[in-house]
Amino acid sequence: MMKLSTLNKLLFVLFFKCLASTFCLQANTYQQNQLIETQNLVKANGKYVTLLGTQVNIGEQAPNFKVVDKNFSPVQLTDFSGQTLLISVVPSLDTGVCSLQTKRFNEESAKLPKNITLLTISNDLPFAQKRFCKVENIEKIKVLSDSVWRDFGTKYGLIIKNMGLLTRAIFIIDEQGKVKYKELVANISQHPDYVKALTVIKDIAPVLVVQEEVTIKATSKENK
């Protein structure tokens, strides 16, 4: 006779799969045929893929978007008003490069001033994101899901047609809400340019770092 604990595990897996299917159906309510298609920008498995949605370019006002956090609570771009944002976009947290990318920015976040916020967005379900963050100790960045409405992917032109994933990308948005940096990684199996992205965001929001250094020096002199 099957042990109760094993049965419970099987029931949980079946429930999770049913729930995932429900969210996939809901997420696919957007009409792919009505979205702008962009080609020859990104490759997967050595072949170009089609990106769905509207491409956002450097210098443009960043479109507001709606995603959800690990508790399915809505989160919008406007919630980070006054912050300089780095948005790290990954296809799936459960893959090697995506995992490393997320952990890298989580580590880098601790070195940045408080007026800089780092986000990771993927189409993973919030359940999976929550589990990943717990296992990998991702605590310093916000990990958000575009699985419910596909709003972010649609407005930023990141949905990979016939795959339902977001393509790997980096966006930096300044305090005025303008796109200052964009990288669509040419091959989704490769890493983004971490050094360049981090250099740009430090250049955009350097004031707080300088102020902290001046304060520390001033305090040291007073104590002498």
Distance CA 196, CA 130 (A): 29
> What residues does 159 pair with on adjacent strands?
52, 166
Nearest to 147 by CA among 20, 15, 17, 16: 20
Q: Are 87 and 173 in contact (CB under 8 A)?
A: yes
Q: Is 169 helix (H, G, I), strand (E, B) or coil?
A: strand
> Quick one: which of 42, 55, 60 has its CA closest to 168?
42
- Known catalytic residues are 98
Residues 6+ apart with CB under 8 A from 44: 160, 163, 187, 188, 189
Among residues 67, 54, 135, which one has the least CA distance to residue 99?
135
- As a whole number of angstroms, the distance between CA 156 and CA 136 comes to 28
